[in-house]
Amino acid sequence: MTTTDDVQKAGTPVDIAKLFVQFANAGDADAVAALYEEGAVMAFPPGSLTVGRQAIREVISQMLAAAPSFTVEESLPTVISGDLAMTSTKPSDGTGGRTQVARRQSDGSWLRVLDRPEL
C-alpha cells in the first residue's frame, strides 16, 4: 500500500480488500468509494447492480450507517493479465465467495472495476 497526497492507494490488487476493511471500519464511505474506478460496477445490494463511483459511495454510505464490523478475509490466488487482475477471498461469513476485477492505474496503483461481494 502506498500513500500519496494523504490518500492511501492499493499497491497490489490484494491491497484493495485490506484497504476496504480499514476504510469501512473507520466509517469512511468516501475512502471506500475511492477504491473503485469512476465507471466501476458492483453487484450489490444482492440482485442489483450499482454503477459508478458516486452510486457505489451512496450504497456504501447506507451500509456503513449500520456500523458493521469487517475483517480481512483469506485471499485466494490472484490472476493477473497485464493491467487486469482478478482477486477473490474466502468469506468468513460463509456466503460462498467474493470476486473482484481490478485495473492497474497510470500511477501503478490498483482500483476495482468489477465487484461481486457475494455469490
Average pLDDT over every residue of 18-27: 96
Average pLDDT over every residue of 93-105: 88
Minimum mean pLDDT range among 11-15, 52-56, 93-97, 105-109 = 93-97
CB 42 within 8 A of CB 117: yes
Digit-coded pLDDT (tens) for 47-98: 899 999 999 999 999 999 999 999 999 899 999 999 999 999 988 877 777 8
Rounded to a whole number of angstroms, the CA Rg of the chain reads 13
3-class SS of residue 61: helix
114-115-119 Cα angle (round to 5) = 130
